Amino acid sequence: ERLSYADLDARANRLAHYLIGQGVDRNSLVGVATERSVALVVALYAIQKAGAAYVPVDPDHPRARQQQVLTDAGMDLLLTHDAVIESLPAPAGLSVINLDQLDLADQPASIPDVGIHPEQRAYVIYTSGSTGKPKGVANTHAALFNRLKWMQAAYELGEDDTVLQKTPYSFDVSVWEFFWPLMVGARLVVAQPGDHRDPARLVDQIQRESVTTVHFVPSMLSAFMTQDDLTGCDTLRRVICSGEALPKDLQDETLRRLPRATLYNLYGPTEAAIDVTHWTCGQDDRSTRTTVPIGRPIANLQIHVLDDRLNPQPVGVPGELYIGGAGLAQGYHGQPDLTAERFVPSPFANGERLYRSGDLARWCRDGTLEYLGRLDHQIKLRGLRIELGEIEAVLRESAGVMDAVVIARNDQLIGYVQGTGIETDALKASLKNHLPDYMVPAHLMVLERFPLSANGKLNRKALPAPEMDTVGYEAPQTDIEQTLSRLWQEVLGVERVGRQDNFFALGGHSLLGVTLVHRIRKALHRTLPLSVLFESGSLAGLADVLQSIPADEAPPLRVHDRGQLAPQSFAQQRLWFLAQLEPESSAYHLPGGLDLQGRLNE
């Protein structure tokens, strides 16, 4: 489906008039529960045009969590469509509007006459809450507008640009994807539902639509880099990362493989409209940098790195990162106490607030900021924000569980519980009803008692490694099964994988799935769509599928006779060539090696 600006505007205006007719005004919250679609874009614009704020109710989340958002937000209306309406747990009394069944032909196509104050809410996005329930963050038009204005000034999107919208709309990154391109006359391409998880389909889409601008959380960028051929992506001009630390190696690989694109690292919490600092990768790169900085504050934002007493830390000394200025959220919806705890009075400017991010950072000498990690039990897992306390709270409410602790190790969540008569399978099933998939621990272990440190506190480091649920081990048989078993062991970091094992039960997740698909292509010369991994169940099942698909056509490997000289690599040829230009110089040789001993003084 393709819409001109005029079409989109008319559709959004009609829906906005309808919403106003239903009593929606500048104080209203309007829920949106749809799959990624044109209808979603129209709905978001219509809600803004009606002067209200939108609240995403993600159809990919379990019903219990949707219910929490629906009840907590106290929304006036819920917009949805055929694809998801059946599965929504709408509370009694909430009017639910099915956009697919709505006839708006009678509504005017003109823009509604609604005054919007900068301090009004534009959106309320729910994020993980440590007390066991997600919390809604209310962001204002002023903060969002400042952020979008900065982005346009900094990255200059033009009419020739195409932006891919692929971030789930329950994350605030999606806010710039939806609104920035259409503020400046660029083209917005909305990815199909599910496509944001599959690098091969993203490559296709980028190529098909000549996408110039795309966002990745670093974990997904890394999955994207498993694609052997990115030449189709040479229309990309801006690759924008945020959401978790960007590893230096990944930065380097991206710059090398997408040489026409500029890579940016943005940082910010949901509590301050989208992002608050920015860094352009590869610019003035000092050879001593081992991490990618999060850069400097964006326009009209201030960053402070403070100690416990709110004193500024000197350059180079870690402290908590505080955010001040135009980007701050109003606060947590309906939670004044929590808001007061996290948005504190600024010691630097009377009457202003600072947001305590819980992030550890330090200033570098060149005025950029370096991100060092978290100060609490909030984590990022594949770019997704998780309060471990929220999972622990859900576990504690489960039958038989007395106490619970959740840790993240090797990119996986591990849950430990204490109690009586606990069935881990049943517990896992009940977690799935309450938490999004990415928050359900890959492993659950029942412990008689939790390890304590000398001062009687929980000793997280001493928690045992999980036992793998390899039920009814059957040894792999065929060549393909044996190879698969080896690849699963490597990718999942487990010691033994049998024919009946399930990739996801052993702790696999979609990004590890991407890695596996990549390794299968290398080892077995067969290209699998990622979805097959989800559908095939056991290792034996996957082996059957692999058996049935033809091998990729690849140049055969040649066996090299060790008695012969090996052909030069490209790098060797290039060095040889350079050496011909200055035969007397040793610059292109390795004339010797030095073996340094002792302690390295960096």
Rule CB under 6 A: which residues touch ligand AMP? 127, 242-246, 265-267, 269-270, 294, 357, 359, 371, 374, 380, 385
Tokens representing residue 24 in the block: 């929606």
**Nearest distance from C-beta of residue 479 to ligand AMP, angstroms:** 43
DSSP character string of 380-445: EETTEEEEHHHHHHHHHTSTTEEEEEEEEETTEEEEEEEESS--HHHHHHHHHHHS-GGGS-SEEE
**Nearest distance from C-beta of residue 329 to ligand AMP, angstroms:** 10
CB-based contact 368:279 (threshold 8 Å): yes
CB-based contact 412:442 (threshold 8 Å): yes
**Phi and psi based region of residue 118 (left: phi greater than 0; alpha: psi -120 to 50; beta: remaining):** alpha
**Nearest distance from C-beta of residue 170 to ligand AMP, angstroms:** 10
Task: Rank residues 189 and 263 by Cβ distance to ligand AMP and give the closer one.
Answer: 263
Task: Rank residues 289 and 385 by Cβ distance to ligand AMP and give the closer one.
Answer: 385
- Adjacent-strand bridge partners of 406: 415
How many Cβ atoms from other residues are within 10 Å of residue 408's Cβ? Answer: 15
Task: Rank residues 14 and 333 by Cβ distance to ligand AMP and give the closer one.
Answer: 333
In 132-245, DSSP assigns E strands to: 135-140, 162-165, 187-190, 213-216, 238-242
By 3-state DSSP, what share of the chain in percent is helix, strand and coil, each rounded to 5?
Answer: 35, 20, 45
Strand order in the sheet with 53-56: 95-98, 77-80, 29-33, 53-56, 121-127, 135-140, 331-332
Task: Rank residues 125 and 512 by Cβ distance to ligand AMP and give the closer one.
Answer: 125
Task: Rank residues 169 and 488 by Cβ distance to ligand AMP and give the closer one.
Answer: 169
Q: What are the residue ranges of helices labelled H in 240-289?
A: 248-257
* 271 phi/psi in degrees, rounded to 5: -70, 0
Residue 357 contacts by C-beta under 8 Å, 6 or more apart in sequence?
Answer: 269, 271, 320, 321, 322, 323
**Nearest distance from C-beta of residue 249 to ligand AMP, angstroms:** 15
Task: Rank residues 77 and 321 by Cβ distance to ligand AMP and give the closer one.
Answer: 321
CB-based contact 264:241 (threshold 8 Å): yes
Task: Rank residues 76 and 244 by Cβ distance to ligand AMP and give the closer one.
Answer: 244
Task: Rank residues 94 and 375 by Cβ distance to ligand AMP and give the closer one.
Answer: 375
**Nearest distance from C-beta of residue 545 to ligand AMP, angstroms:** 35
Output the CA–CA distances (angstroms, integers) from residue 179 to 58, 185, 542, in the order listed. 19, 11, 41
Amino acid at 518: H
**Nearest distance from C-beta of residue 359 to ligand AMP, angstroms:** 5
Task: Rank residues 294 and 427 by Cβ distance to ligand AMP and give the closer one.
Answer: 294
**Nearest distance from C-beta of residue 77 to ligand AMP, angstroms:** 26
**Nearest distance from C-beta of residue 340 to ligand AMP, angstroms:** 19
CB-based contact 254:221 (threshold 8 Å): yes
Q: What are the residue ranges of helices labelled H in 243-328?
A: 248-257
**Nearest distance from C-beta of residue 32 to ligand AMP, angstroms:** 19
Task: Rank residues 127 and 174 by Cβ distance to ligand AMP and give the closer one.
Answer: 127
Amino acid at 331: G
- Helix, coil or strand: residue 86: coil
**Nearest distance from C-beta of residue 161 to ligand AMP, angstroms:** 23
Task: Rank residues 25 and 376 by Cβ distance to ligand AMP and give the closer one.
Answer: 376
**Nearest distance from C-beta of residue 25 to ligand AMP, angstroms:** 28
